[in-house]
Structure 1
Amino acid sequence: MKVVIAVAPEKYRDEELGEPVAALNKAGIAFDIASTRPGTCKGMLGGKTSAGLSFDDIDPKNYGGLIIIGGSGCQEHLWEDDLLVRLAIYFSETDKVVAAICLAPVVLARAGILKGKKATVYDAPTAVFEMKKGRAMLTQEPVVTDGRIITANGPAAAKDFAAAVIKALSDKFR
């Protein structure tokens, strides 16, 4: 099993990527990092990662889950990315794990997959508005799992978010 991690090309939140990557490595789960374009992506706190794929390069049949990383770049680069939205829909419709943290749950709301689902998001007015518009049942919990969808509200929840993702992936393949 392999998962794909989506990051903005700039201003992704470093620990929201670092914690899931560490947890995936520890669990022995392979992953690819993708962005709007392949190449170096820059974190808000100075970190860097390499996206080996663009969203266009992803064949979702080859992955057991999608993890979307937040940060301020998420709103600018990922919220309106049609390819990423379509990937989220595909992963959801095929009962694969779909996870998003911080501002990234808005991608799921825009994909229409949070309608009637419990979810959380970083408490920014625009993000909350988008989640409500997508008919998500918002909670204030740091990490929320509803079926195969996992959302988290920001950097402080990154470690628990990573643990919830690993659990969901492990449950799927037991």
Structure 2
Amino acid sequence: MASKALVLLAPGFEDLEAITTIDILRRGGIQVEVAALHEDEVTGSRGTTVVADTNLTLLDESRVFDAIVLPGGQPGANNLAADKRVLKRLQDQSVAGRWIGAICAAPKVLATANLLKGRRITHFPGALDANEAQGAEVTDEAVVVDGNLVTARGPGVAMDFALALVEQLAGRETRDAVESKLAR
């Protein structure tokens, strides 16, 4: 059975990170469900409007996803961090040991959910200060996989971030097959 991923979009999400990640996950055979916070239409920081599959008001809280993915961007990451439903889902996902992906400014959401302590992460430069990082080991690597957490620096590595998620959810062979068709 194919893995399922929930991609959460808030107003002001980073367009490139969201669209690239959704596309690459789907190419990898992952069943992707895109959820906006409130309305089904949500606009990114660069003006791209996405019609989400659902929104968090309608999404059953008991639904389980193999991965929850957070694109960054501002004010998108701040909007995700301010939503208690998002924080609860992330905490539940972490406790269950299921995958969480956060790129660019989105590790700030993980910090708000108190999920960074003792973790190795990366994020967009300046997105988190030392206090917000909660003792996480912050690197300047493009993509970091630590346990059930995948983090990435920003839009320039969105494809690498998405491919890392495909590898975790569907295996190295699937990742390689997807990447081979991207003319990289």
TM-score after normalising by structure 1:
0.88
**Mean alpha-carbon deviation: is it higher for 99-108 or for 70-79?**
70-79
1:86 is aligned to 88
Task: Report how far residue 144 of structure 1 moved.
Answer: 0.7
2:16 is aligned to 15
1:140 is aligned to 140
Distance 1:131 1:140 in 2: 16
SS of the residue corresponding to residue 144 of structure 1 reads strand
**Mean alpha-carbon deviation: is it higher for 42-51 or for 145-154?**
42-51
Task: Give deviations 1:127-154, integer Å, cap 9, x for gaps.
Answer: 234542x221111111111011001111
SS of the residue corresponding to residue 12 of structure 2 reads strand
Q: For the Cα contact (< 8 Å) 1:60–1:87, is it kept in 2?
A: no
1:170 is aligned to 170
What is the aligned length?
169
SS of the residue corresponding to residue 78 of structure 1 reads helix
1:158–1:58 Cα change, 3 Å: farther
Q: For the Cα contact (< 8 Å) 1:131–1:138, is it kept in 2?
A: no
Does 2:119 correspond to 1:117? yes
Q: For the Cα contact (< 8 Å) 2:78–2:109, is it kept in 1?
A: no
SS of the residue corresponding to residue 140 of structure 2 reads coil
Task: Report how far residue 46 of structure 1 moved.
Answer: 2.3
Task: Return the structure number with greater helix share.
Answer: 1
1:71 is aligned to 73
Task: Report how far residue 40 of structure 1 moved.
Answer: 0.9
Look up the equivalent residue of 1:45 and give its one-letter code. R
Look up the equivalent residue of 1:98 and give its one-letter code. I
Q: For the Cα contact (< 8 Å) 2:121–2:137, is it kept in 1?
A: yes
Look up the equivalent residue of 2:144 and give its one-letter code. V
2:55 is aligned to 54
Higher-Rg structure is 2
Q: For the Cα contact (< 8 Å) 1:38–1:54, is it kept in 2?
A: yes
Task: Return the structure number with greater strand share.
Answer: 1
2:157 is aligned to 157
The root-mean-square deviation of aligned C-alpha atoms, in Å, is 1.9
2:26 is aligned to 25
1:6 is aligned to 8
Task: Report how far residue 96 of structure 1 moved.
Answer: 0.8
Percentage of identical aligned residues:
27
TM-score after normalising by structure 2:
0.84
Gaps of 5+ in 2: 172-184
